[in-house]
Chains A and B, each alone.
Chain A
């Protein structure tokens, strides 16, 4: 079964600095997608970035980028030039195989940004 693990319950970063959130996963599939979602205090789930497993190039969205290591089943999120608005819960997610594309989520990492 697919599993997603986020080993950092909490992280903090100084404003304008860079932070990396870790995610490891397990799947028997060779082709799949991986996602990072952000949940600010408003509780709205917002898609941050998406990675396709068959693409070797790491995905990038403005200040957000991933370090995708397929062999190691690692999918970390790097946030550059951190801003106060980046403070949120961050969830790594993986579609469950043969299950209507339902997502399985990691336990989340709470990111605090210090001014």
Chain B
């Protein structure tokens, strides 16, 4: 039973398109995150979200937006895709007030052509 799942696992699209990546966690956690891993394997936080607060890394373009229909889901929407958006995107979750360890989804490899 997968703790944090993402769909799709692979996404190939053209520049200028709008796309979404879905994330679901069944751990009952109250905080979810999106990370971006570039081609050099460098991981960078994009967003942190719980039902009270959205925290955005200031370096994230406003073409990226998280949407949370409920506590168990945090989807990532990307508008006007650019070549530089090609990366692996990871969703993660954790429980506030705990040990801060995060559980990661399997990642979505986004390729923009």
Interface residues of A (CB under 8 A from B): 33, 35, 37, 39, 42-47, 50, 52, 89, 91, 95-96, 99-105, 107-108
Q: In the bound complex, do residue B100 and residue A99 qualify as a contact, i.e. CB atoms below 8 Å apart? A: no
Q: Which residue of A lies closest to B92 (CB)?
A: A45
What is the predominant secondary structure among interface residues of chain A facing chain B?
Answer: strand
The 8 Å CB contact of B107, one of A37, A43, A91, A107, is A43
Determine the distance from Cα of A114 to Cα of B57 in the docked complex, in whole angstroms: 39
CB of A32 to closest CB in B, whole Å:
8
The 8 Å CB contact of A99, one of B35, B44, B48, B109, is B48
* Closest CB pairs A-B (n = 9): A100-B48, A45-B104, A100-B55, A102-B45, A105-B43, A102-B48, A95-B100, A101-B100, A43-B107
Sample of 19 more A-B contacts, CB < 8 Å, known A47-B101, A101-B94: A33-B99, A33-B101, A42-B106, A43-B88, A43-B107, A44-B104, A45-B92, A45-B107, A99-B55, A100-B31, A100-B48, A100-B50, A100-B53, A100-B55, A102-B45, A105-B42, A107-B40, A107-B41, A108-B41
Interface residues of B (CB under 8 A from A): 31, 33, 35, 40-45, 48-50, 53, 55, 57, 88, 90, 92, 94, 96, 99-104, 106-107, 109
Q: Which residue of B lies closest to A96 (CB)?
A: B45
Determine the distance from Cα of A107 to Cα of B94 in the docked complex, in whole angstroms: 22
The 8 Å CB contact of A91, one of B43, B96, B99, B109, is B43
By a CB distance below 8 angstroms, the chain B residues around A91 are 43
Q: In the bound complex, do residue A108 and residue B42 qualify as a contact, i.e. CB atoms below 8 Å apart? A: yes
Q: Which residue of A lies closest to B55 (CB)?
A: A100
By a CB distance below 8 angstroms, the chain B residues around A101 are 31, 48, 94, 96, 100, 102
By a CB distance below 8 angstroms, the chain B residues around A35 are 101
Q: In the bound complex, do residue B45 and residue A104 qualify as a contact, i.e. CB atoms below 8 Å apart? A: yes
Q: Which residue of B lies closest to A49 (CB)?
A: B101
Q: In the bound complex, do residue A102 and residue B57 qualify as a contact, i.e. CB atoms below 8 Å apart? A: yes
By a CB distance below 8 angstroms, the chain A residues around B109 are 43
